[in-house]
Amino acid sequence: MRKYLKHKAYINLPMLLRVVGWLLLIEALFMAVPMTVAIINENESFMPFLVCMGITAGSGALMTLLRPRSRDMGKREAILLTGFTWVILSLFGMLPFMFYGTHMSVTDAFFETMSGFTTTGASVLPSLDNVPKSILVWRCITQWIGGLGIILFTLAVVPMLNTSGGMQMFNAEVTGITHDKLRPRISYTAKGLWGIYAILTLVLIILLSFSGMRFYDAFCYGLSTMSTGGFSTDNGGIHDLNSLYVKIVMIIFMFIGGVNFSLMYHAVTGKMKGMMKNTALKVYLWFVLVGTLVFVIDILIGGKKLTVADVTIDPLFQSVSLLSSTGITEPDFHDWGSLSVVMLIIMMLVGACAGSTSGGAKIDRFVILFKFIKNEFYKMMHPGAVTTVSINGRGTQTAVVNKALAFLFMYIIIIVAGGVLLSQMGLELSDGFFCALQAISNTGLGSDATGVNGDYSLVSDGAKWLLSFIMLTGRLEIFTILLVFTPSFWKK
């Protein structure tokens, strides 16, 4: 065994644990928000959250006391830390679900928390009627934290990581085919992105408050909408409000959540030209319009008595919700027809722009795929031609193209493998594939086994653990997680 370990590369484990400790302290601070809600609400007890805060903060404080010989972190430490962090924070984040209100099992609590942090929005709760408000707030907070990224938030608030593998951590977590620093120091980049994210969330909460919605509901929907997570505060969701104003506001901010935040940062700093020329953003906008048109056609084919909103706002809302991976569905979606179901699957698979809070394989990669295929057809007729995949008016490196194609290939493999495994765990084969797709795309819709507006309490424990792993793999874009399981990762 010792001989085997000598051939393994050194991993700076004390430094990894120390960073995780800082993250746990931050998570404990976020727990103060639902604890405050419990204090305000006389029907709830704040003690369970106080205990969870104490356990989380105590564990984090012990880890921060570690004094590593070196603060250096390379690419492997960054990759390992990224996946390790999401699991650890989910393990501590599930404590409120176990100790208070819902009293979930370990499996259900971990599934619910991982679904929150990955902004998937799938839930094991059959009903929200008797769930304490503090727990519902905590669910939405987990989505908001995970929306832009746990590691990215840490880079913004822990300055020591700026020179300690910060860029590697940034690349390991932030979604996209390429990663551009907005500022010379990675901590400034993280602060800039999180600043925009926080401001947009605040604006959304204020706008929702003007609808007559209680501030508690506006706060929760603001967090879950901006993160494109989709958790709700009651069984009927926003549709019970029957408010066009709320739907229009949410359409705007769900769409924004699907836009690359780096583009928005450049736009805020006066560099609008990059946003206007961005290929993925243009395709994203066209995809929303095409999806809306398909839904309208399918609704009209149904021939039912319709209002203006039924063929305008509702299909637009559904299109943006699906493409941004928010996953909120219209109550009568099942009546829209088979064409809508096909479009639903396509939108879940594709997702919105890279660098956003949305899930899916990302439009950017599909743009590369189709341009690559177009070039291959051209070269069949002109064998001597030299072609390149052009994105945003510039040629794309071959390595970037190859990585995008490999990602899409792995994405399909995981859906197929996940669907087969889930079918062996009690689900119908079609339901297994659908659940695997919604998990890796972080969309959170149900299948026939759970119902679009249902829950995952009917799924076996083994299936919940598998889906949790697929959700994490999808959120961290496959390579960051799967690379840890390869022998080459642990060799020098």
- pLDDT (tens place) for every residue of the chain, 492 residues total: 344 344 445 777 888 888 889 889 999 999 999 999 999 987 888 898 999 999 999 999 999 898 877 777 777 777 888 888 889 999 999 999 998 877 889 999 999 999 999 999 888 988 888 899 999 999 999 999 988 877 676 666 665 555 555 555 555 555 555 545 444 466 677 777 888 899 999 999 999 999 888 899 999 999 999 999 988 888 877 877 778 999 999 999 999 999 988 888 878 777 777 677 888 899 999 999 999 999 999 888 876 777 888 888 999 999 999 999 998 887 777 778 888 889 999 999 999 998 888 889 999 999 999 999 998 898 888 888 878 888 877 888 888 889 899 999 999 999 999 999 999 998 888 889 999 999 999 998 755 555 545 568 888 999 999 999 999 999 888 888 888 888 887 776
Long-range contacts of 126-133 (CB under 8 A, 24+ apart): 126/454, 126/455, 126/457, 127/235, 128/232, 128/233, 128/234, 128/235, 129/234, 129/235, 131/101, 131/102, 132/38, 132/41, 132/43, 132/44, 132/100, 132/101, 133/37, 133/38, 133/41, 133/44, 133/216, 133/233
Specify whether the CB–CB gap between 282 and 258 falls below 8 A.
no
Residue 184's pLDDT is: 47
Residue 450's pLDDT is: 58
Residue 174's pLDDT is: 56
* Other Cβ atoms closer than 10 A to 490: 14
* Other Cβ atoms closer than 10 A to 158: 19
Residue spans of alpha helices (H) in 65-185: 75-93, 95-99, 106-117, 133-148, 150-157, 166-173
d(CA 199, CA 152): 16
pTM for the predicted model, two decimal places: 0.90
d(CA 416, CA 144): 30
Q: How far is CA 321 from the centre of its chain?
A: 13
d(CA 328, CA 319): 10
Name the CA radius of gyration of the chain, rounded: 22
